[in-house]
Structure formats: structure tokens, C-alpha cells
Structure 1
Amino acid sequence: MIKGFRRLAASAAVLLAAAMVLAAPAPAAASTLAAVKQRGTLNCGVSQGLAGFSDRDAQGRWSGFDVDFCRALAAAVLGDPAKVTYLPLSASERFEALRAGRIDVLSRNSTWTLEREAGLGLLFAGITFHDGQGFMVLRRPAITSALELDGVPVCVQEGTTSAMNVADYFRANSMRLTLHTLPTATDSLQALQDGRCDVLTTDQSGLFAERLKLSQPDAAVILPDVISKEPLGPVTRADDLGWFNVVKWVNFALINAEELGITIATADEAMRSTKPDVRRFVGAEGDLGTKLGLGNDFAIRAVRAVGNYAEIYERNVGASSRLGIPRGMNQLWSMGGILYAPPLR
């Protein structure tokens, strides 16, 4: 009887211990912010070379719209925009590199979609560039509209939303699609130049960049048609909401800086401002930065490093750059565009 009781008590103890293990909360995902601070550098995934967005010169120096976001993030987190390690990624490998932890953030002309968030376990930290898919035509000067591309060979890069979009567009308009899918953007452009296709399709921003690489850029025409919505922005893993918030609010800070009139040149003046919204932005009031695990001056550090959104845009892809892309939808909401960010307060 006593032995049976002891066996029963022992079994109950085992069951109780197991229940406690099952009831215990799962360990939190390792903090990316802590890892970046400990490492002392930000691992940022970028494209393999897209003029105006992320490109490397002969000395190995990176520059561009997406690169500047990496630099702004490094300045906000580490206090130094130079503390970035860039990893060039193809379209097909970019998301797996992020999921595997090879990079901390992806800043590489990537379209925000439901499948990529829900299906891949990722989070897009806002929109940095409102884009749309278009067409660049070579060797067919008579074509002025995408509706005239029936049967014309089209090149597209694999692993992108562009292939699905162009198939939808041709099917919806009862057109014959002759599609050549290539591994990389470089391969797609080379196929266009070699005559394997007469049309290249990708985001319009990418078309402006790729046209510069042609032996005769003026011979290529970017059609006015836009066949999709392509909201581009930085991406994080979905298992670290703290880091996601850091990336998201650095993005919002750059947009808010333009709205507040805070630039690289006026950063010192902003530090002396008596306006409440400016004082919150520069960290002179409140403790917004500490809520993110950063210094309260994180936003002004980002602006000092790369400028506000307008400065980043114009320097890399705007009217005065080699690409010459009009602001269009990427104007502030108060200036006729749809660029909008929640306030820092």
C-alpha cells in the first residue's frame, strides 16, 4: 500500500513538473537590437547593384537611396553611419538571408505584400518609396503603350512580383505573353541588350536605373503605363517586434524631418528650437528614444548622417540626380503626394 502510494506520488510529481514546463512562457526571440549593439555594426542586405538605390563604386564604397536608409539606421542605433556591413543579395535569396539571420534588415527595393509577411514570417517597416511596375522598350520605336506589347518578347527577373504582375496584365487584356525569366537584374538587362527580348519589365524606379547601364540609354523608352502598386520599404523578421519598431520609427523620423523642415544644414538650429514637436524630435523633451532602446536623440542623429527624406531622395534618384525620377506620389501628403508618417510624440 505504502509502495503504491509512493509510486503514485512520484508519478504526480513528474506530471506536475511536465505541466510547469509546458505552461512556462516560450523564451523570447534574441534581441536584434542587442546583437547589433554588441557586434558594433549593422548587417544590411542590399541589391547587387542598382543605380540610385544601392550601388558600389570601384573603391567598394556603397551609395544610394536604400544604402542611405542603412546609414540612417546605424547612426540612430550605433551613433555612426559608417558602422554598416553591406551584403549584396539577389531577388531570389534576399528573404531567406533575412530569415536565416545573415542580415539584420533588408533595405533592397522589395515590395510589401501579404504573402511575404504572412507566408514568410516577415514585417515591412513602412514604405520608403511608392513605386509601380512599368515597361522599358528597345528596338521598337513605334510602341507607345503597354497595350501594344501583344506577342512582343518580354524579359523579367525571377523571384520578383514583376513576373506575376505582367502575367496578370497580359491575361486581363487578352494579350499573348512571350516571357523570358532571368536569374538576376543584370541577366535581364543583358538579354534586352542582346535582343533576346525587346521589353524589360520591373518597377519604374528600377527601369530608370537600368537604362543608365545600356550602351545607348537614349535608345530605350520607358512607357508611361503603370500596371501595379509596388510599395517598397525595409524588412525585418517578424519574431522581434522591438527591432521592427526601431527600423519603423527611423523610417518615420526621416519623413517627419522633412515635414518639420529639419535638414543636415539646420540640425544645429533644430537643437535650439522652442517648438514642442521639434524639441521632441531632437530628444530635448520626452523620452521617446528610450522607449525604443535608443538614445533620445536617435532621430536627429539619423538626419545628421543622411539628411531628411527629401535630401535622400533628391541626392540619389531625384530630378537633379542621374536617374531624374520626379517625386510624384513620393511627395509629402501636404504637398500633393501620399508620403505620410505618424508623429513622433
Structure 2
Amino acid sequence: MQKSVFLGALTVAGLAAGASAAATLDDVKARGTLNCGVTTGLAGFAAPDANGEWEGFDVAVCRAVAAAVLGDPTAVEFVPTTGKTRFTALASGEIDMLARNTTWTFTRDVDLKFEFAGINYYDGQGFIVPRALGVSSAMELDGATVCIQTGTTTELNLADFFRKNNMNYEPVPIETNAEALQQYNAGACDAYTTDASGLAASRATFENPGDHVILPEIISKEPLGPLVRHGDNQWGEIVRWTLNALIAAEEYGVTSANIEELSNGTDSPEINRMLGTEGNLGEMFGLDADWAKRAIMAEGNYGGIFAKNIGENTPIGLARGLNAQWTEGGLLYAPPFR
């Protein structure tokens, strides 16, 4: 009897929580804009251009979701967040989703009650040092001062790395990437540590990038991706499958240039289902048949977004590596559209 009452109470509480959180799609449609949390500024990933327009690899995910849901990739309110403020902004409802170089971890998924919609960048933590320091390995950083963003997995990984290797360090805590770079370039720390992609992005903004070395060691796994609140499965599915559409589009050769032609129908059932010329996938989560077409048209497929913002022909200069398609030896893989 006691057990039944307890389970009943949990069920009621769970239903109440679900009902209160399940209105994100309605809220976004009523508002007419998507509130998307991004970093305070990281070149190639999320930063305002000279005209104040946000652009970058993570920004493209926000625009794709806005296009899928609202039919307008520009209908986004970008909300800059720090390592400390990002989760509060999402939990409180200030933002509808977070697309901010955020690592998928157990505690963020389970304890903080967030739902990761997938992985849009497979990364790992590294170190950057001035070339003049004469250091070629992270194993030579015993006793170093290290700039580190608070409220991040990098803060915990740093402590683990030095402890495991019986080395000491002095942390220089900062809150934003801009502050970290300011302190690092002012000589307040010997090294700066964050995701390797962030290091490459930051170095590209330096006056003399060649005066700085990204050390070879990668000390962690950092699967980065967009996330939403627990309790609203419909909204989570929309963000997840929008990201999957960008990934699958690259695999199937669907681009912003040929999508109009392909959306008239192809001999590929998978492409047809994704683009809405067969089946009713959009209807299943409250959108129309063209949701994925609009998402892909917003800024192109995953490969195009990568190449434009952070690829080898940009100042960031990142190779695809683990972020290549599974057919090309990478980890990138979208579940079937069926």
C-alpha cells in the first residue's frame, strides 16, 4: 500500500513536471523567435561579425532549428552565456536551447536534468603555450600557471591530469574565453587550457598566431552538442532531428544548391522521407513536411557548415578528423530517417 502511494505520488509529480515543460514549441511559435544560448564569443563557433550579426558553427545549428520550426533562419535571439550562466539560462526558460561548445556528461544529463540532442563536434581538451616558453609537451607543465574557465569540464579535467601525473599547477580562474585570452596574452598564465577546437579558434585571432603552440596531448573526451531541458520530448526530438538532418544531408549529397531539385523526388527513399516527399515524418512531431528542407537550406549541410566556419581553408584551420562522416573513417553518423 505504501509503495503504491509513493509510486502514485512520483507519477503525479512527473506528469506535472512534463506538462509544465512541454510547451516549448508552442512558446517559440507564439513568440516568433527562437531564444538560443551561445558562447560570449568564440571565433568560428559563435561570435558577432562587424555588423553585429551572429555567425559560426554553433550559430548554424540555432538557425537550422529556427528555419525548421518558424520558416525563418534569422528568427533567432542569440543569448550569450558563460560556463557558469549557461545552465541557469536553460533551466529557467530564458533560452529554448543551448548551442555553446557544451560537453555531454553523466551529471549534466542526469543530475542537472538536461537532454543532449546529439553531438555536432567530437573534441578533446588541450593546452596552448607561448612558443618562447620552450615547452613541447603538457608533461613539461609541472609548476605552471594555467588559465581555466570556471564552471566547465576543463576545470575538472585539468585537476585530474595534473594529479594523475604527480604534477602541480596554479589555476588562474576566469569566466569567459575573452577574459582568458586577455590574461594569457598579458602573461598572467603560462598556459591556457580548453577544448582543442577552442584553442585553434582563439589562436587564429592572435596578432602573431605562430608565436603560440598547441601542445600535442589531448587529455579528455569532449563530445559537444546542443541541449534542451528534460521533460519536453517533442522539443528535444525537433532539435535532435534537425541536427541529424544536417548530418544526413552531407552523407546523401544533399546541399543548399541542389535541394530544390531533390525535393521534387529522388530514387532514394531515405532522402525522400527526410525532405518530406514521402511519408509524414514532420507531422509526427508537430511540423510540416518541409521542416528538414528548410533546416538544410538555412546554412547548408553539416559539411558545408564545417568548411565555411572552422574548416582547413578558414583561419581556424580544423581538419575533419573524428568529425568526418562514418563512411570516411570518422564518427559522424545520423540515425535513419524512417
Query: TM-score over 0.5 for the alignment?
Result: yes
Alignment partner of 1:321 out of 304, 314, 317: 314
**1:282-309 deviations in Å (ceiling 9; x for gaps):** 1000000110111122111111111110
- Number of residues paired by the alignment? 326
3-state SS of paired residue (1:197): coil
**Is 2:251 aligned against 1:259?**
yes
User: Residue 82 of structure 2: SS of its match in structure 1?
Assistant: coil
Counterpart of 2:51, as a letter, is Q
| Superimposed CA distance per residue, residues 185-232 of structure 1 (whole angstroms, 9 cap, x where no aligned partner) | 111111111111110000001101111232322201111110000000
Cα distance in structure 2, aligned partners of 1:233 and 1:278: 24
| Whole-angstrom distance in 2 between the partners of 1:83 and 1:254 | 19
1:84-103 alignment to 2 at 5 Å?
84-103=76-95
Larger of the two Rg values belongs to structure? 1
Matches within 5 A, 1:69-108: 69-108=61-100
Q: How do 1:102-141 and structure 2 match up within 5 A?
A: 102-141=94-133
Query: Could you tell me which residue of structure 2 aligns to residue 61 of structure 1?
Result: 53
What is aligned with 1:28? Answer: 19
Q: Offset of 1:268 from its aligned partner?
A: 1.7
- Taking structure 1 as the reference length, what is the TM-score of the superposition? 0.91
Q: Following superposition of structure 1 onto structure 2, how do residues 38-49 of structure 1 map, counting pairs within 5 Å?
A: 38-49=30-41
Q: Is the counterpart of residue 161 in structure 1 residue 153 in structure 2? A: yes
> Tell me, what secondary structure is at the counterpart of 1:28?
helix
> Cα distance, 1:90 vs. partner?
1.0
Q: Distance in 1 between matches of 2:46 and 2:179?
A: 17
Q: Is the 8 A contact 1:139 1:198 kept in 2?
A: no
Deviation sequence 1:96-127 (CA, Å, 0-9, x none): 00000000000111111111111111111000
Aligned to 1:4: none
Change (3 A) 1:219 1:38: same
Structure 2 match to 1:287: 280
The separation in 2 between residues aligned to 1:269 and 1:225, in whole angstroms, is 46
Q: SS at the partner of 1:188?
A: helix
Gaps (5+ residues) in structure 2? 1-7
> Secondary structure of the residue that 1:226 maps to in structure 2?
coil
Select the residue among 210, 233, 236 that pairs with 1:241.
Answer: 233
- Please state if 1:149 is matched with 2:117: no
Distance 2:12 2:46 in 1: 47
Given residue 261 of structure 1, which amino acid in structure 2 is its aligned partner? G
Distance 1:147-1:82 versus aligned 2 partners, 3 A rule? same
* TM superposition shift of 1:142: 2.2
* Residue 342 of structure 1 pairs with residue 335 of structure 2: yes
Higher mean alpha-carbon deviation, 266-275 vs 201-210, is at: 266-275
Give, as a single letter, the amino acid of the residue that structure 1 aligns with 2:244: F
AA matched with 1:307? G
Give the C-alpha shift of residue 141 in structure 1. Answer: 4.5
Residues 131 and 213 of structure 2 are in contact (CA less than 8 Å); yes or no, is this contact kept in structure 1?
no
Q: 1:131-168 CA deviation, whole Å, 9 max, x = no partner? A: 00000011545211111111121111111111110110
Query: Does structure 1 residue 269 correspond to structure 2 residue 261?
Result: yes
Q: Which amino acid aligns with 1:240?
A: D
Give the alignment partner of residue 231 of structure 1, picking from 219, 223, 243: 223
Q: Output the CA distance in 2 between the equivalents of 1:322 and 1:216.
A: 12
2:190 to 193, 198, 212: 198
The whole-number CA distance in structure 2 between the counterparts of 1:331 and 1:23 is: 44
Q: Percent identity?
A: 50
- From 293, 301, 311, the equivalent of 2:304 is 311
CA distance in 2: counterparts of 1:325 and 1:69, whole angstroms:
18
- Report the equivalent of 1:7: none
CA contact (8 A) 1:138 1:192 kept: no
What are structure 1's unaligned runs of at least 5 residues? 1-18
Structure 2 length as normaliser, TM-score? 0.93
Deviation beyond 2 Å, 4+ runs, structure 1: 22-27, 139-142, 212-216
Q: Which amino acid aligns with 1:243?
A: W
Instruction: Supply the RMSD in Å over aligned alpha carbons.
Output: 1.7
Deviations 1:229-268 (A, max 9, x none): 0000001000211101110010111111011110011102
Give the deviation of 1:23 after TM superposition: 6.8
Alignment of 1:178 onto 2:148: no
Distance, in Å, in 2 between the alignment partners of 1:118 and 1:100 is 17
Conservation of the 8 A alpha-carbon contact between 2:132 and 2:211: no
